[in-house]
Amino acid sequence: MGILFLSNVQAELLKTKRTAALWLTLLAAAFVPAINCLICLQRPDIMMAKFKVDPWLTFLRFNWKNTASAILPLFVILLTSLLLQIEYRNATWKQVYAMPRKYADIFFSKFLVIQALIIGFLLLFNVFMLTSAFVIHSFQPGYAFYAGAIPWDTMAIQTTRIYTGILGVAAIQYWLSTRFRNFTIPLGTGMGLWIAGLILMDWDKIIYYPYMYTTLFFVTDFSKHPDDLSTLLVSAVACFIVAILLGFRNIYQLKAKG
């Protein structure tokens, strides 16, 4: 059963070759590091002073700031809508459900492909971020990235936290994209919920708002608020589990699937 499931995941992954999903992943991961590289190269008179103390940590935060709060959530919203439209656009949902596959197999194999692309985005982002730093130092040695070691542990921890924070959004968007044929519904809903989260950032209950988890994992100083870390982690994981199970139950109970 496990081998069959992995084969179906591989088949779903092959379908992405006929979409812009891989290009979207690549370009989204490279966007912020590329922009920040140009900023640092063009304005060393302003930017170099900001990197005097802990240049690597400063540069990591410089890149994660916009990625965690904007690029990653928007990437996930677009990605899920794009991939689920493969079946709707080709009118193949009924054929998929007619195959000798369990609903859980169909539902979770597609979701795992989305997770693979999200993880790919995060890994590529880190690669592009390091490459950007090396390019900056090559042209402007004053940034002194070579003076210190790359903080691999910090990068791994931050990446893991951000990934945990995006799981809930991925599950909600996957549910919506599977449930509605019109791609503007999940796309518009996701964008609306993300924008609403930005407006509600000062709300004292924002820590329970899934579309802001990635932002909160970045902006919160856990050294000063250690309890917030466990609260965020539990909330993010709980949101993911509830959303993915409710989504599966809802799709499973639909009388007319696809």
Closest residue by Cα to residue 16 from 81, 89, 88, 113? 113
Most confident of 145-149, 228-232, 254-258: 228-232
Cβ-based neighbours of 188, under 8 Å, separated by 6 or more: none
Model pLDDT, residue 145: 86
Residue 159 near residue 127, CB atoms below 8 Å? no
The pLDDT assigned to 69 comes to 95
Contact assessment for residue 36 and residue 62, using Cβ atoms and an 8 Å cutoff:
yes
Find the mean pLDDT for residues 69-92. Answer: 85
pLDDT digit string, tens, across residues 85-96: 876 666 666 666
Q: Is 90 exposed, middle or buried (0-12, 13-18, 19+ CB in 10 A)?
A: exposed
Among residues 60, 32, 54, 29, the alpha carbon closest in space to that of 157 is found at 60
Separation CA 108–CA 97 (nearest Å): 13
Q: Within 10 Å of residue 4's Cβ, how many Cβ atoms?
A: 12
**Tens of pLDDT along 163-214?**
999 999 999 999 999 888 888 999 999 999 999 999 999 998 999 999 999 9
Structure tokens at 3: 């081998």
Binned at pLDDT 50, 70 and 90, residue 98 comes out as low
- Of residues 21, 207, 187, the one with CA closest to residue 110: 21
User: What span, in angstroms and rounded, lies between the C-alpha atoms of 29 and 187?
Assistant: 20
Which amino acid is it at 4? Answer: L
Q: How confident is the model at residue 257 (pLDDT cuts 50, 70, 90)?
A: low
Task: Name the residue among 238, 128, 221, 222 with its Cα closest to residue 172.
Answer: 238
Is the pLDDT at 1 greater than 70? The verdict is no
Q: Which amino acid is at 95?
A: Q
254 backbone dihedrals φ, ψ, rounded to 5°: -65, 135
Contact between residue 105 and residue 5 where contact means Cβ atoms under 8 Å apart: yes
pLDDT digits (tens, 9 = 90+) for 15-41: 777 788 999 999 999 999 999 999 999
Q: Going by C-beta distance under 8 Å and a sequence separation of 6 or more, which residues neighbour residue 100?
A: none
